[in-house]
Structure 1
């Protein structure tokens, strides 16, 4: 028996080069080699840094897709916002045709690189911040009140604007420039960054920030409140989580959010564009010297003066100049950005 046992032991030793080392529960080796532990949601969660990074990237991609899709309408709208040209559907078409004649089809996307450079961090920060603020304000985002959603959206918008405002300013100045030939083209970016001065100053990089912040607080708050509320209602109707609502529900919620937000805060958006592009408009109606790149205009120095000037020139309808175009591009942009963000969250496996 002892010989047989020894023989069996030796055969077992030959068939297994090393004995199996016992795994102590809770040890690092247990976590490395036991896949069943990965099924525990608490242990499978991303770290805070990874989670926020995923949200930033997902939001940036969503914003870039949306802005690129509406770039032609956006550039045309800015030209009308910052000039004294009469706004109507016919003139919009004429202006877009003129852009194509002067600059080619690519001209419709002039300044879009600057737009994407701005909107990627802007949208990323805004979407990520909204999720973070929701978590801060309520342990259960699904049961948040309208006031909490409004506050989270407003705070997210203000955070994104404060970080990325200079890029928005540069993009607006590039969009209204109509002279890009020869040596002028090489100076355009420098003029857009410096505001036509000899050097870069913080004051110039944040020109028009006040109306932007004043506008973004209700704008982002209303947009996120509307979309979040509609998406939450859709999730109840379809018996899904808010993240997994059908595509048509996501698109509808985003479109309505864009329409409501754009309409309710448009005059401040108009003021912001006027203050941002002072001295850069070259329509021939504003008496801007295209060779200098900048002409001081007193009525752009504050929100009240700008509002008064626009009202004096064009009446109450002047404060909503270009709004009908926003009724097209706004819902489209929000529909794309909110929908893409949700699908990016699913793709990146971002937890709620």
Structure 2
């Protein structure tokens, strides 16, 4: 039952991995790549520099953590959405925009909570432009994050009783508050727009309901496959949800790499947001949004379309 929910994420994430790497470098204000973020087609120039510094596989640095994360993330998200959808809307008459938004938001929050440490590891790997991808780098970055901020005393005494030293797992949840704040509009809007758009396009183009049942004896308005409609609905959902949640994503990336600058403490959401505004103004919260569209729109379209197609094929 979980297969149709995990596979869409794997296929979609692999397709846009190079764009994801460049977007993270822009969002996290990597000093070497900040100059490209405001340029037309700057992502191509950044990609070329990555290849020059780290080889072609540098475009996929951090993708191993993405693959480890995306299957459980997508599985939990789609499985939880089906569960919440059934619990909140047992019949089509119960479907409302508020309930669709709530079901999407709850599924997104649950999935990101369970897989967040892998997302942090992925960002740290993608942020590193000094070393080439090599075996064991995933383990090394996990070990480095775990030991961040631990004071080494010279007299043999124990380090100070800091919060991060007492609860090292908190280091793997840097930026989690910003993630939750962004996940609610992202996941909620994504499922809401997909559900409404899919229903509208099925009625308009296919003369069917969302389960593929004919609404009347009349032939479809145009000949188009259900998968094509699912792709279009998913693309629109991706574009709108990305716009709604993008400022939170920028803050999250800065918080996630904050352990490099301030390993001894957790940076605050307001502190990071104020820094972004001081240095770049309002536009700083939308840095790399163009790449976000190039990444999220096809990824969301593929993800929703594969999810829908595999549910149909398995009768789920």
TM-score past 0.5 threshold:
yes
| 8 Å Cα contact 2:26/2:288 also seen in 1 | yes
Q: How does 1:309-320 map to 2 (within 5 A)?
A: 309-320=275-286
Cα 1:141–1:163 change in 2 (3 A) is farther
- In structure 2, the partner of 1:32 is none
Superposed displacement of residue 141, structure 1: 4.0
* C-alpha distance in 2 between matches for 1:248 and 1:112: 28
* C-alpha distance in 2 between matches for 1:324 and 1:107: 21
- In structure 1, the partner of 2:222 is none
| 1:249 matched to 2:195 | no
| 1:222 matched to 2:202 | no
- In structure 1, the partner of 2:142 is 190
Q: Which blocks of at least 5 consecutive residues in structure 2 are unaligned? A: 151-164, 213-224
Cα 1:161–1:318 change in 2 (3 A) is same
Q: How many residues align?
A: 282
Give SS of 2:272's match: helix
For the pair shown, which has the larger CA radius of gyration, 1 or 2?
Answer: 1
Give SS of 1:178's match: coil
Deviations 1:222-272 (A, max 9, x none): 000000111111222212342546222111100000000001111100000
Deviations 1:295-338 (A, max 9, x none): 31899711111111000001111111111111211111100100
Over 6 Å off, 4+ runs: 297-300
Give SS of 1:229's match: helix
| 8 Å Cα contact 1:149/1:224 also seen in 2 | yes
| 8 Å Cα contact 2:174/2:266 also seen in 1 | no
Q: Which blocks of at least 5 consecutive residues in structure 1 are unaligned? A: 1-53, 280-293
* C-alpha distance in 2 between matches for 1:276 and 1:204: 9
- In structure 2, the partner of 1:166 is 117
* C-alpha distance in 2 between matches for 1:210 and 1:140: 34
Give SS of 1:139's match: coil
Superposed displacement of residue 143, structure 1: 4.8
- In structure 2, the partner of 1:212 is 179
Deviations 1:259-300 (A, max 9, x none): 000011111000001001125xxxxxxxxxxxxxx3318997
Deviations 1:158-216 (A, max 9, x none): 11111111111111111111122589958742345426356881210111110001110
- In structure 1, the partner of 2:79 is 128
Q: Which residue of the other structure, out of 201, 210, 213, is the alignment partner of 1:234?
A: 201
| 1:89 matched to 2:69 | no
Cα 1:71–1:138 change in 2 (3 A) is same
CA RMSD in angstroms, aligned pairs only = 2.4
Q: Which residue of the other structure, out of 108, 132, 149, is the alignment partner of 1:157?
A: 108
After alignment, is 237-246 or 125-134 more displaced?
A: 237-246
TM-score (norm 2): 0.83
